[in-house]
Amino acid sequence: MSEKNDGANRDATKRSARERLLVERERQKARDKRRRTLVVAAAVVGVLGLAAVVGLIAANAGKDDSAKGGPVVAPSGATGKDALAVLVGKEGAKSTLTVWEDFRCPACKAFEDNYRSVIKDLQAKGLLKVEYHLVTLIDGNMGGSGSLKGANAAACAQDAGKFPAYHDVLFQNQPQEVDDAFGANAKLLELAGKVDGLDTAEFRACVEGGKHDAWVKKSQDAFREGKFRGTPTVQLDGKDIFADQAHPVTPQKLKEQVEAAAKGAGGASASPKASPSDSASASASASASASSSSSASPKASASGSAGSRAGAAKPAARGTSQE
């Protein structure tokens, strides 16, 4: 009897041990499950937190003005869509000349040299206003920053009420296309000394601080979006004056068309023939454009050559095309 009791006790002890082991295993499983749940939850929170941080960084990157050269600050009196044009002339003038140009562009200089006197005469008579759009095509084609810095300096001159005079000075002192002289603020400030009353502390701070850099870049974006062929692009009341290469609008024709528009006698339609003086003016402009483009670097040679070829057919031909 004693042995039977001992055996029963041992069996009971074994069952109790197994039961305790099973219970402990179940508890361990429960603890492991809770631990896994916490780990997964922590991981999810971490991922969500990281996503939130990344999203914040992305959002801030999208708002970062430094990538675009700072906030867009238009110069005083800027007009047109997004205030990207500098207006010269009387607001009530019947005709509008829209000019897209780059201060490093040789063909732009040729256009300015050949058309400047006629344009100024028409402006003085209140018959023509000009909307200048400043772009950075040469910087993009050849490298450097002269187009950008020159345009910013011109915008600073607009703030000072000296844009027309400084605009002319920059083109009259334009360096060779391969020379990024306008990339040095010192050169731009030196040229400001040629304009009475422009070289002030405020103007210098504007130039050296790149106050209007982002505005210039936005103008370049608008030029690219407009799919213009190159610089200069010149439109009289919306019509490209160099579109008809057989009969380009020479300075004399420009004068006649603007005067006719003022009298309500024909608007901006081109004359069927060019007069001898027209041909001479066109030839002079084309020669200037071809000469200016001849020293382009290999990177811009195709662009410069295109300008020379176009220049043979029309005045102040585009020496630089968009790439």
Give pLDDT, residue 70: 75
Give pLDDT, residue 18: 63
Amino acid identity, position 245: Q
Give pLDDT, residue 264: 83
CB atoms within 10 A of CB 291: 13
Among residues 213, 150, 224, the alpha carbon closest in space to that of 183 is found at 150
Predicted TM-score (pTM) of this structure: 0.67
Give pLDDT, residue 225: 96
Give pLDDT, residue 313: 34
Give pLDDT, residue 229: 86
CB atoms within 10 A of CB 29: 10
Give pLDDT, residue 65: 36
Sequence-distant (≥ 6) Cβ neighbours of residue 186 within 8 angstroms: none
Give pLDDT, residue 303: 35
Among residues 118, 104, 253, 114, the alpha carbon closest in space to that of 184 is found at 104
Give pLDDT, residue 166: 98
Q: What burial class does residue 117 get, using C-beta atoms within 10 Å of its C-beta: 0-12 exposed, 13-18 middle, 19+ buried?
A: exposed
Residues of the chain with pLDDT under 70: 1-69, 265-323
Cβ contact 138:91 at 8 Å: no
